[in-house]
């Protein structure tokens, strides 16, 4: 049976496969799914190639939060080499149902900076909807970082002005943090990237949604290299 148009594969980028339906999500005022966030995290990893930086895919961040077996989680976590990473970014979703693929209704971002020994949670909702979920990921992840880092909510996280752009805010803030780290991160342990968050405005987020769509279309049109 032929696949529907929405399921058609349109791009393979690193380990991420995007489908026609992902373009539809970016085209309209829609909540981002796991694949788009994983794609852009993979893109940021290519832009800022460093063994010090780890951008964790949504599926892995979800399993860190919801895995019921500590022993199997240990086997899962060790290949991530969290103890040697200087900057770790984890997308947080409010889904708690391991049987529901791509569930949930809100994204936020948890960032670990080793130099300042802190996990910072950025939630673009007005009421920090994902605080509980972010703290769960923090508690599970902390021992694997070989640190005694504290947890904090960032009070000046840019706030979304609609009910669907939380995922784009996650990507915009992740980009700001990676740019900060690449330029001056090791010198800014006290102030971190907070002053740079003023770049993340509602209009900038709207532009970014279109930019990601353009990025994907550009990669789709790029000549395929032959190994």
Of 94, 133, 166, 188, which residue is the catalytic one? 166
Question: Is 19 within 8 Å of 35 (Cβ atoms)?
Answer: yes
Residue 166: active-site member: yes
The pairing of beta strand 9-13 with beta strand 16-19: antiparallel
CA 23 to chain CA mean position, Å = 18
Using CA atoms, how far apart are residues 36 and 38, in angstroms rounded to an integer?
5
- 106 as an active site residue: the answer is yes
The sheet carrying 87-93 orders its strands as 53-55, 87-93, 107-113, 118-122, 150-153
Of these residues, 22, 94, 106, 188, which one is catalytic?
A: 106
Of 34, 94, 123, 165, catalytic = 123
DSSP element (H, E) containing 77: helix 70-77
Contact status, residue 95 vs residue 132, Cβ threshold 8 Å: no
123 is catalytic: yes
Question: Active-site residues: which are they?
Answer: 106, 123, 166
């Amino acid at each position: 049976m032929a696949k529907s148009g929405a399921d058609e594969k349109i791009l393979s980028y690193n380990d991420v496969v995007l489908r026609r339906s992902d373009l539809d999500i970016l085209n309209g005022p829609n909540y981002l799914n796991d694949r788009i966030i994983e794609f852009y995290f993979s893109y940021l990893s290519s832009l800022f190639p460093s063994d010090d930086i780890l951008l964790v895919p949504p599926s892995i961040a979800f399993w860190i939060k919801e895995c019921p077996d500590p022993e199997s989680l240990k086997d899962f976590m060790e290949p991530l080499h969290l103890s040697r990473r200087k900057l770790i970014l984890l997308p947080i979703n409010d889904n708690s149902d391991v049987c529901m693929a791509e569930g949930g209704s809100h994204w936020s971002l948890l960032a670990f900076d080793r130099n300042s020994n802190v996990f910072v949670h950025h939630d673009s909702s007005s009421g920090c909807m994902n605080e509980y979920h972010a703290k769960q990921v923090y508690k599970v992840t902390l021992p694997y970082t070989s640190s005694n880092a504290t947890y904090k909510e960032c009070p000046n996280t840019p706030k979304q002005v609609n009910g669907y752009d939380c995922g784009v805010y996650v990507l915009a803030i992740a980009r700001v943090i990676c740019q900060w780290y690449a330029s001056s991160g090791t010198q800014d342990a006290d102030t971190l990237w907070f002053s740079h968050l003023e770049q993340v405005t509602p209009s900038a987020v709207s532009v970014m949604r279109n930019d990601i769509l353009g990025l994907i279309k550009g990669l789709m049109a790029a000549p395929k290299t032959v190994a």
